[in-house]
Amino acid sequence: MERGDERIMMKAIALCFKPYLKPEEAQIYCNLGRTQLAKRCEEFLLFKNNSGYYKREDLDKMMSGESSPLLNAISFQSPKVKK
């Protein structure tokens, strides 16, 4: 487990102008737990690069409040039923 000062330091680093964030920094940046971050990234089709880092711009898009591309694709392909 990490101590309080370590968490504060990691948060300060994560909020800097780094273009790529480690998974632990991405959790702090997005204010999500490990499983929540993984679930949201899967929903928004965000993946780590070969080095194991998340792209900050992609995380910003995910946290912007827009609907996910996965949900848009599902709603686009579902048949519309007239009532």
Q: Structure pTM? A: 0.70
pLDDT on residue 83: 47
pLDDT on residue 81: 46
Mean pLDDT of 7-27: 84
Question: Which carries the bigger pLDDT value, residue 50 or residue 72?
Answer: 50
* Domains of the chain, start order: 4-77 (1.10.238)
Mean pLDDT of 3-7: 80
Q: What is the DSSP string of 18-49?
A: -SEE-HHHHHHHHT--HHHHHHHHHHTT----
